[in-house]
Amino acid sequence: MSVSGPGIAAANGIQIAYDTFGDRGSRPLLMVMGLGAPMLTWHPDMCDLLAGRGFFVIRYDNRDVGRSTHLHDAPQADMRSALARGDFSSAAYTLDDMAEDGFGLLDALGLSAAHVLGASLGGMIAQTMAAGHPERALSLTSIMSTPSPALTNTTPEAGAALMRPPATSREAAIAQSVEIARVIGSPGFPSDDAWRAELAGLIWHQGIDPPGVMRQWMAVQASGDRTEAVRGIRVPTLVIHGDSDPLVNVTAGRRTAELIKGAELMVVPGMGHDLPRPVWPALADAVSALAAKAEHPE
């Protein structure tokens, strides 16, 4: 197996940091991560597993996170106006812009199209890519995501965990990350505290940008209800959701699959808002089968 990267690509007017796994000639799989989460959140063992299934895996940092461009000069996201009055005018960008970032990265890598897989916010971006440019999204895998913010039905405990003030030291960041993972993670699987702590340390080293996370959150809110766009998706689609997700309720995943004609729905018992290691083989098998279906339609 050949592995290239990491790299920085000029894409959609910004710089996008990316990494790849597998053979360059294999079928490309673009992996899009969630709110405030850098590409490091895709565990390298999971990326290797997908590469072993015949994918050229591309993971990348969304704008405003990790080593990609942070829009420090953009207007400050006004969360109070957004929540109190539904005023999203302070949004610096939308999900459409974030989708174009992904396509821009494909352009930079010389790829006309890719299978697209996204988790949480990344699932919303992936949905937007498949809806807007189906000729470039060979298939869609939407994980623990939603077609509308109104469908998330976040539990009070999960919401409170995510609204905690940012940590001010590496040690506090690690402790906070482990605790949040326990609140929003998978009750049906062992908690991988060691990986969560390692990841939090890596993210702290890269730098934390709370205003950037808020700009991403505002992009979701400003994009609003995307039901009709998602209903129009016609690429082969797989929807994966845990039945114990406290952040984005499983009803949002069911609704996503209901909207997309022919979509497959994989509900994972005991899975919360994360991807526990024991789920990876079944996920990799399902994504591989979806890609084969896309490449050889009946």
- Which pLDDT score is estimated for 85? 78
Instruction: Give residue-wise pLDDT tens across range 182-203.
Output: 999 999 999 999 999 999 999 9
So what's the pLDDT on residue 75?
A: 85
Cβ pair 51, 57 in contact under 8 A? yes
| Predicted confidence (pLDDT) per residue in 56-95, tens digit | 999 999 999 999 999 999 988 877 777 777 878 888 999 9
Look at residue 92 in the predicted model and tell me its pLDDT.
Answer: 94
pTM metric for this prediction: 0.96
Extents of the domains making up the chain? 7-295
pLDDT tens readout for residues 121-178: 999 999 999 999 999 999 999 999 999 999 999 999 999 998 899 899 999 999 999 9
What is the percentage of the chain residues whose pLDDT exceeds 90? Answer: 89
- pLDDT the model gives residue 26: 96
**Residue 90: its pLDDT value, please?**
84
- Report H helices in the chain: 44-52, 79-85, 95-108, 121-132, 156-162, 170-184, 193-206, 210-223, 227-231, 250-259, 280-295
Q: Does the pLDDT of residue 235 top 80, yes or no?
A: yes
pLDDT of residue 2: 39
Reported as a single tens digit per residue, the pLDDT across 24-66 is 999 999 999 999 999 999 999 999 999 999 999 999 999 999 9
Which pairing describes strands 114-119 and 27-32: parallel, antiparallel, or unpaired?
A: parallel
Task: Give yes or no for residue 222 having a pLDDT over 90.
Answer: yes
Q: Which top CATH class is 7-295?
A: alpha beta
pLDDT of residue 4: 54
- List, edge to edge, every strand of the sheet that includes 7-11: 7-11, 14-21, 55-60, 27-32, 114-119, 137-143, 237-242, 264-268
Residue 5: pLDDT band (50, 70, 90) is low
- 76, with CB counted inside 10 A (0-12, 13-18, 19+), is exposed
